Amino acid sequence: MDIFEKCSGFTTAREAMAAGLYPYFIPLTESEGSEAVFRGHRLIMCGSNNYLGLTTDPRVRQAAIDAIQRFGTSCTGSRFLNGTLELHERLEHELAEWVGKPAALVFSTGMQSNLGTISALVGRYDTVVLDKDDHASIVDGARLGWGETKRFRHNDLEDLERVLAGIPAKHGRMVVVDGLYSMGGDIVPLPEVAQACRRHGARLMVDDAHALGVLGGGRGTAAHFGITDQVDLVMSTFSKSLASLGGFIAGDETVIHYIKHHARSLIFSASISPANAAAALAALGIMREEPERVQRLAQIADRMRAGYRQLGFNIGNSTTPIIPIIIGDDTKVLLFWKALFENGIFVNPVVSPAVPAGMQLMRTSYMATHTDAQMERVLEVFAKVGRELGIIK
């Protein structure tokens, strides 16, 4: 059998393209934070993870420019060899301080942060326990480790207890959860998860990719619940609230030191560029100095959730700026997406198997820089399209 045979047999995307319902890999001409342009068509951006709206902030842009002027465009090597700058170490220090941990380690992407951390720590006689809605990077990090992977039903504490109780006593164990789930917009019940970990001698890692800059005054999920000391490892990415590209893991110094010398995705990847490091550092500084941005984001999220519910949309259990519009049918989701796009609203359609059948949805997300007028327009278009497609009355 030719290994490429599966490629010619993959026709799903081409069929959607032919029907004019292909919503992915859209090449934007411009992206200005809360708005974007596609072939001259201006859209309100409700599909970005730029939660604090800092990707276009002049201070973040200038920090990146200054770093290029001083260091050039690339480090041309891994952190392990010639790719570590004082800038990286300063960023690590400030990130650790921000999330309340002694040390941090910067990776080239958020994906690599999870791949490297989990695979480095979970050895042959260890078990890693994942929520079934955990991000793909967590799942892949577990696969790369030599240990066993077990999963529990989403945010189901009884099922977590069952799984932890079934792990052999000789196994080391670690639970990894998202702090804020990227599709449902719901928050992990972290205090209860932490209690379960203590009862069963498990370490706890929280992926705060979507929670940093959103929860806990911007410090993340553990800070949101006031239990930073009960979480062993905090991971996050730079590609959302920190307006850059990269990722990090934070925890006790001895653990971070071990990961630094065992994480293959760190050792065998080039380090993040000086511009990316400087942009993340500048964004972190703004987050610290302007707490009103996080507050504004929460106000917008409250308004949009209330607006969608009032219109009759099903938004699930969201309590954050990630608000799913649950439709439950692949074709209707794609038709909804196209109509929104043609009416000037950019959102992200999510169809099966990315979500279970019956949970197909339109993922919307919001920024601190969205205006009241933009939000009013978004609700107006959603109401119009929702009624035309019979999703709401």
* Inter-residue contact 232 to 244 (CB < 8 Å): no
Q: CATH 3.90.1150.10 spans which residues of the chain?
A: 10-45+291-388
pLDDT of residue 77: 95
Q: What is the pLDDT of residues 154-199, one digit of tens each?
A: 999 999 999 999 999 999 999 999 999 999 999 999 999 999 999 9
Alpha helices by DSSP H, 154-252: 157-165, 190-200, 221-225
What is the spatial distance between Cα 76 and Cα 111, in angstroms, rounded to a whole number? 20
| Distinct helix (H) and strand (E) counts, the chain | 15, 14
CA dist 228 to 189, 190, 289, 291, 302, Å? Answer: 14, 10, 21, 19, 25
Both tokens assigned to 273? 């560029």
The mean pLDDT value for 238-267 works out to: 98
pLDDT of 236 > 90? The answer is: yes
CA dist 51 to 56, 71, 81, 94, 142, Å? Answer: 12, 28, 34, 20, 28
Q: What is the pLDDT of residues 10-28, one digit of tens each?
A: 999 999 999 999 999 999 9
CATH architecture of 10-45+291-388: Alpha-Beta Complex (3.90)
The yes or no reply on domain 58-289 and CATH 3.40.228.10 is no
What is the spatial distance between Cα 105 and Cα 96, in angstroms, rounded to a whole number? 9
E strand or H helix at 172: strand 172-178
pLDDT of residue 241: 98
What is the spatial distance between Cα 41 and Cα 340, in angstroms, rounded to a whole number? 12
* Inter-residue contact 362 to 327 (CB < 8 Å): yes
Q: CATH 3.40.640.10 spans which residues of the chain?
A: 58-289
Name the average pLDDT for the chain: 97
The mean pLDDT value for 373-385 works out to: 98
Among residues 230, 165, 162, 155, the alpha carbon closest in space to that of 191 is found at 230
Among residues 276, 278, 223, 232, the alpha carbon closest in space to that of 251 is found at 232
Using left for φ > 0, alpha for ψ between -120 and 50, and beta otherwise, residue 361 falls in: beta
pLDDT of 356 > 90? The answer is: no
pLDDT of 368 > 90? The answer is: yes
Letter for the amino acid at 147? G
Global confidence as pTM? 0.96
Environment class of 10 (CB within 10 Å of its CB; exposed 0-12, middle 13-18, buried 19+): exposed
The mean pLDDT value for 313-328 works out to: 97
pLDDT of residue 234: 98
The mean pLDDT value for 260-278 works out to: 97
